[in-house]
């Protein structure tokens, strides 16, 4: 199983800091976006699995592992391509691989009986990126500033890059079930929890009117330091083109 969560945790901290001034309508207990359709990298899923194991809730007889198994037997959205893969295709002038993953109804198996996330501190980026400046729990649509959509896409790309040395992307429940079932240290099994391989970061495709602001965001991200004082740029490619 992956053990170096340092850059991932630093990215999560950076994102918390980046969004802290935004007046989101999201509040504790609202979980309309907590569905079976969450996609994750193996790195993110490993952090969640470790959190479940540490809190002693991963024994087969206990919740939520039994519920995870059930959710994994009929998974929701399962991506068939990744953002970095599509970006590489775009840059090379190829047709982008279509994502044929389909969403289905169902709540995330990691919600507790009070509707709270049982792995909140370790939750994957897809959960952190789901936000809205207007209430959407009465059947309405979420609202997000366009630049935050761009930033979220970039965050997904960077996390995929962190996990591009053999890592994969897939449905959260399926990835978790494979990881919770694997013997401790069974790295190969956990990294192969999905057949969809992650790709390195080719750069970012950003709308022309956002490029200036995006470059400033990127500089801030590259300079952000992990707990031991290492800048995040240490884990990123030297060249980060913005197309
Ligand atoms: S992992 Fe937590 S935050 Fe994410 S969908 Fe599941 S319950 Fe919600």
Give pLDDT tens digits for 169-212.
Answer: 999 999 999 998 887 777 676 677 889 999 999 999 999 999 99
Residue 8 in contact with residue 159, Cβ under 8 Å?
yes
Q: State how far the Cα of 127 lies from the Cα of 120, in Å rounded to an integer.
A: 9
Residue 236 in contact with residue 18, Cβ under 8 Å?
no
**Nearest residue (CA) to ligand 1, atom 8:** 34
H or E element, residue 72: helix 65-73
H or E element, residue 168: strand 168-171
Pocket test for ligand 1, best of 50, 72, 111, 121 (most atoms within 8 A of CB): 111
pLDDT at 158 over 60: yes
**Nearest residue (CA) to ligand 1, atom 4:** 127
**What's the N-to-C CA distance of the chain in angstroms?**
35
Rounded mean pLDDT, 104-120: 94
Answer whether 218 contacts ligand 1 (Cβ < 6 A): no
pLDDT at 4 over 70: yes
Rounded mean pLDDT, 216-243: 97
Phi, psi angle pair for 151, to nearest 5°: -60, -45
Rounded mean pLDDT, 102-112: 95
Rounded mean pLDDT, 94-112: 95
H or E element, residue 8: helix 6-19
pLDDT at 131 over 60: yes
Phi, psi angle pair for 171, to nearest 5°: -75, 140
pLDDT at 181: 86
Of residues 181 and 238, the one with the higher pLDDT is 238
**Predicted model pTM:** 0.94
Pocket test for ligand 1, best of 31, 116, 176 (most atoms within 8 A of CB): 31
What is the percent of the chain where pLDDT is above 70?
A: 93
For residue 63, name the pLDDT band (cuts at 50, 70, 90): low
Pocket test for ligand 1, best of 38, 103, 125 (most atoms within 8 A of CB): 38
35 CA to centre of ligand 1 in angstroms: 7
Rounded mean pLDDT, 46-68: 73
pLDDT at 2: 46
Among 29-43, 176-190, 213-227, the minimum mean pLDDT is found in 176-190
Instruction: Using alpha carbons, list the distances in angstroms from residue 240 to 96, 112, 201, 218.
Output: 21, 40, 8, 9
């Amino acid at each position: 199983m992956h053990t170096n969560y340092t850059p991932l945790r630093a990215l999560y901290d950076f994102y918390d800091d980046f969004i802290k001034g935004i007046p989101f309508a999201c509040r504790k207990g609202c979980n309309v976006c907590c569905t079976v359709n969450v996609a994750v990298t193996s790195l993110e899923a490993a952090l969640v699995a470790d959190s479940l194991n540490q809190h002693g809730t991963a024994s087969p007889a206990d919740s939520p592992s039994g519920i995870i198994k059930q959710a994994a037997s009929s998974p929701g959205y399962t991506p068939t391509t990744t953002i970095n893969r599509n970006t590489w295709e775009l840059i090379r002038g190829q047709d982008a691989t279509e994502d044929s993953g389909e969403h289905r109804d169902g709540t995330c198996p990691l919600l507790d009986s009070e509707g709270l996330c049982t792995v909140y501190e370790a939750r994957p980026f897809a959960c952190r990126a789901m936000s809205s400046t207007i209430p959407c729990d009465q059947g309405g649509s979420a609202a997000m500033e366009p630049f935050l959509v761009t930033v979220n896409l970039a965050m997904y790309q960077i996390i995929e890059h962190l996990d591009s040395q053999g890592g994969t992307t897939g449905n959260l429940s399926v990835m978790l079930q494979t990881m919770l079932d694997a013997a401790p240290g069974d790295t190969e099994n956990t990294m192969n929890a999905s057949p969809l391989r992650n790709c390195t970061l080719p750069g970012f495709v950003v709308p022309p009117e956002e490029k200036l602001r995006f470059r400033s965001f990127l500089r801030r991200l590259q300079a952000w330091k992990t707990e031991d004082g290492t800048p995040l740029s240490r884990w990123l490619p030297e060249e980060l083109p913005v197309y």
